[in-house]
Amino acid sequence: MFKGSMVAIVTPFTNGRVDEKALGDLIEFQIRNGTDVIVPCGTTGESATLSHEEHHRVVEFTVKTVNKRVPVVAGAGSNSTDETIELTNYAKKAGADGALLITPYYNKPTQEGLYRHFKKVAESVAIPIILYNVPGRTSVNMLPSTVARLREIKGIVGLKEATGDLKQISEIIRLCGRDFDVLSGDDFTTLPLLALGGAGAISVTANVAPADCAGMYDAFSAGKMEEARKLHFKLEPLHNAMFIETNPIPAKTSLALMGRIKEEFRLPLCPMSDANRDKLKKALKEYGLI
């Protein structure tokens, strides 16, 4: 259902408020450069520090700005099942095409708790759901056997897998089949995931290099493996640069250096150290982005 190069888009701020003009410009930049799906209010969108009112508005604004040119999959997850249902309901009401739901963080639910959480959301809101597994953020790894159980529930159509573990990704695809959209949540694994039968990526790097991220997916889909490999290796240093500090600090700093947004974060995120900023600038210059 959801395939291709998808961007986990940043949320730009100016003077403490969401900068809708900058967000709109970023959305146009993404669509113009071949991005297949826009994903607002994910981890990269600093969803954890958005108020509910801001979260709703970013989703609503994104849907309106995109205007059905590409799908919008709205981040709507939480560590509370009731709050997840509320956010997912709003995503549907706003016109999003799908919802991205992170595994509940901090609570450290069991595999059965994860299953019941997602089952209740899927049964409560009739919208296509992409599960999101990122144990480096949540301290919980949703196992392939749990994903396979959830795959049988109506409305659960895919998984953003951000363990970086190709063995786990392979097992998920084997258990769930090719009609279940397994997406890379770790940019470096996108090409090998595609080779295993995955459907694409929800990318951080696409914030700054959307054309090449989309180009790699398109080349792979067209059977142009050498071109896809060349783009994979070209993008690799940029993937690394996007995580030299906590995401989305490098992505937002890069976009600021590119003149696309103000360099502003919500605490507890803060500007990069001088040493890491120098490393990031070097990577961006070598890539030709600044």
Of the residues 68, 92, 93, 160, only one is catalytic, namely 160
Q: How confident is the model at residue 198 (pLDDT cuts 50, 70, 90)?
A: very high
Q: How many CA atoms lie within 13 A of 38 on its CB side?
A: 31
Where helices occur in 125-248 by DSSP H, the ranges are: 135-138, 144-150, 166-176, 190-196, 210-221, 225-241
The token pair that represents 57 in the structure block: 């508005």
Q: Is 230 tagged catalytic?
A: no
Of the residues 132, 252, 262, 285, only one is catalytic, namely 132
Q: What is the mean pLDDT of residues 113-136?
A: 97
Q: What CATH architecture does domain 4-224 belong to?
A: Alpha-Beta Barrel (3.20)
Q: What is the mean pLDDT of residues 213-229?
A: 98
User: How far is Cα 20 from Cα 57, in angstroms, rounded to an integer?
Assistant: 10
Binning the chain into helix, strand and coil, the percentages to the nearest 5 are 50, 15, 35
Over residues 36-86, the pLDDT tens digits come to 999 999 999 999 999 999 999 999 999 999 999 999 999 999 999 999 999
Q: What is the pLDDT of the chain when averaged over all its residues?
A: 97
Query: Taking the CA atoms of the chain, what radius of gyration do you get in angstroms?
Result: 18
Q: What is the mean pLDDT of residues 208-218?
A: 98
Over residues 260-283, the pLDDT tens digits come to 999 999 999 999 999 999 999 999
Predicted pLDDT of residue 149: 97
Instruction: Flag whether pLDDT at 27 surpasses 90.
Output: yes
User: How far is Cα 217 from Cα 107, in angstroms, rounded to an integer?
Assistant: 36
Where are the extended beta strands (E) located within the chain?
4-8, 13-14, 17-18, 37-39, 73-75, 98-102, 129-133, 156-161, 181-184, 200-203
User: How far is Cα 184 from Cα 181, in angstroms, rounded to an integer?
Assistant: 10
Q: How confident is the model at residue 1 (pLDDT cuts 50, 70, 90)?
A: confident
User: How far is Cα 207 from Cα 9, in angstroms, rounded to an integer?
Assistant: 6
Predicted pLDDT of residue 152: 96
Specify the pTM. 0.95
Query: 258: which residues sit within 8 A by CB, 6+ positions away?
Result: 208, 284, 289, 290
Question: Regarding beta strands 98-102 and 73-75, do their DSSP bridges make them parallel or antiparallel, or are they unpaired?
Answer: parallel
Q: Is 108 tagged catalytic?
A: no
Q: Cβ distance 46 to 84 under 8 Å?
A: no
The token pair that represents 93 in the structure block: 């009401």
